[in-house]
Amino acid sequence: MITKRVPSETIGRLFRYFRSLSCLLRKGEEIVSSKTLAEVCHIKPATVRKDLSYFGEFGTRGVGYDAASLINKIKKIIKLDKKINVALVGIGNIGRALLKHSTFELEGFKIVMAFDNSPSKIGDTVGNVMIEDAANIRERIESSGIHLVILAVPDYATSKVANVLQLAGAKSILSFSPCGLSMPADIQVTCIDLSVEMARLVYNSCVDYREKV
Amino acid sequence: MITKRVPSETIGRLFRYFRSLSCLLRKGEEIVSSKTLAEVCHIKPATVRKDLSYFGEFGTRGVGYDAASLINKIKKIIKLDKKINVALVGIGNIGRALLKHSTFELEGFKIVMAFDNSPSKIGDTVGNVMIEDAANIRERIESSGIHLVILAVPDYATSKVANVLQLAGAKSILSFSPCGLSMPADIQVTCIDLSVEMARLVYNSCVDYREKV
């Protein structure tokens, strides 16, 4: 169980540990040292050891952590120990790519519903999911109890769909629309903004470090 | 010009201002108040005003900022005043979606080269870009002087391709591969990890706020 002693920075790093351990395990590395885990996460081994010690996980000195068991422990802490059903709204290029994205399921997420408002797409099946009419979003999401929704609609439709999602009881939105969503505080929104990420990379790579500090 | 007085937090927010102003302008809002800009960026109006005052931009009292001119000023500061050519490696579902992503160009980025190692893809044209043989990555990127590369290859190929990109003189990598890249410090890497973002959303929406602090 999480206690209040655990710093939020540690919780943040647990997601990276979870991800990196899953990758290492897929590559066949069943025992992972704090040094290896630290390397792939770009942090110090001592930080890894301290973070994991909060949860009574110390590994075996000189050997390392059992990857599978550590993954399960972390999953429980970060609330990923149950499969999470996800709805997707907007089946354009990005939406289609997400439906075909095979590793979501390995990581505990499953897109179980997909919506679009284009008659030419409704009824199609992409990656095992049938595209439904966006007119039914509220009813379908509400009755299924899905809390996490991926939004991959054009800019102009974002706010409208987000409002419907709110009425449907969605708790979290992962949005690929670059324009900020104004949502009530009880809905979590994360925006994936590729242009901003690229802009940041360009800036960081061409600005002298001292200027940035 | 950027001076050392400007805090890095301000620089970070400039990317969000740039993005939000572009969105507002596309919607027809030519004059934008600090209140509006603050709202779409989820920060305080006073912060917006303070950030912009570093660059001698004060807007017109009671009216607001001229969006187009502010965008240009910010672009200069964050080094986006010239079009940035980008190479893309890996033409799977995500890569294909990126090639068709129409707004990159509006935002100053242009994917001008795309690579894959599958004979069935090489020679195809997706979104105006012809897919080239991945065997030529180093030579082509080196001779074109491209510094920013999007990596959308399967996990197992990430490190190998990243090494080639380093030899080719790439300075920044935006990676869709979830497994951490170990790169020299002079190459900037940003990983877009959708599962980690979803995991974080789920965690935040089901954990009581006090627990997170």
List the domain boundaries for chain B: 8-77, 84-196
Higher-confidence position of B199 and B124: B124
Q: How far apart are CA B81 and CA B187, in angstroms?
A: 22
Q: How far is A155 from chain B (nearest CA, A)?
A: 8
Which residues does B90 contact at the CB level (< 8 Å), separation at least 6? B115, B116, B151, B152, B153, B154, B157, B161, B176
ipTM for this model: 0.80
Nearest-by-Cβ selection for B94 from A84, A97, A107: A97
A191 touches chain B (CB under 8 A): no
- Closest residue on chain A to B78 (Cα): A203
The sign of the torsion formed by the CA atoms of B67, B69, B70, B74 equals positive
Give per-residue pLDDT as tens, B90-118: 999 889 999 988 777 767 889 999 999 99
- Closest residue on chain A to B180 (Cα): A40
**Which of the residue ranges A78-82, A143-147, B195-199 has the most confident prediction, judged by mean pLDDT?**
A143-147
B65 touches chain A (CB under 8 A): no
Give which of B97, B196, B178, B211 is closest to A84, Cα–Cα. B196
Q: How far apart are CA A173 and CA A158, in angstroms?
A: 11
Within 8 A of A174 by CB-CB distance, chain B residues are: 194, 197-198, 201
| pLDDT value, residue B116 | 97
Domain B84-196 belongs to what topology? Rossmann fold (3.40.50)
Determine contact, residues A83/A110, Cβ cutoff 8 Å: yes
Q: Is the pLDDT of residue B19 over 90?
A: no
Nearest-by-Cβ selection for B93 from A86, A100, A174: A100
Within 8 A of A94 by CB-CB distance, chain B residues are: 97, 101
Q: How far apart are CA B180 and CA B153, in angstroms?
A: 13
- Closest residue on chain B to A150 (Cα): B198
Q: How far apart are CA A141 and CA A164, in angstroms?
A: 10
Nearest-by-Cβ selection for B4 from A19, A92, A211: A211
B200–A15 CB contact, under 8 Å: yes
Q: How far is A27 from chain B (nearest CA, A)?
A: 8
Which residues does B11 contact at the CB level (< 8 Å), separation at least 6? A203, A212, B2, B77, B78
B101–A203 CB contact, under 8 Å: no
Q: Please tell me the pTM assigned to this model.
A: 0.81
Within 8 A of B207 by CB-CB distance, chain A residues are: 2, 79
Reported confidence tier of residue A61, pLDDT bands at 50, 70, 90: confident
- Closest residue on chain B to A18 (Cα): B196
A194 touches chain B (CB under 8 A): yes
B17 touches chain A (CB under 8 A): no
A102 touches chain B (CB under 8 A): no
- Cβ-based contacts under 8 A for chains A and B: 194
What is the CB neighbour count within 10 angstroms for residue B206? 12
Give the A window 27-46 contacts with B, CB below 8 Å.
27, 39-42
Share of chain B above pLDDT 90, in %: 42
Domain A8-77 belongs to what topology? Arc Repressor Mutant, subunit A (1.10.10)
Q: How far is A66 from chain B (nearest CA, A)?
A: 18
Within 8 A of A8 by CB-CB distance, chain B residues are: 212-213
Q: Is the pLDDT of residue A98 over 50?
A: yes
A167 touches chain B (CB under 8 A): no
Q: How far is CA A151 from CA A140, A163, A169, B123, B135, in A?
A: 16, 12, 15, 32, 36
Give per-residue pLDDT as tens, B154-208: 878 888 898 899 999 999 999 887 666 666 667 888 888 888 888 888 887 765 4
Helix H or strand E encompassing B115: strand B109-116
Q: How far is CA B89 from CA B92, B163, B200, in A?
A: 9, 13, 28
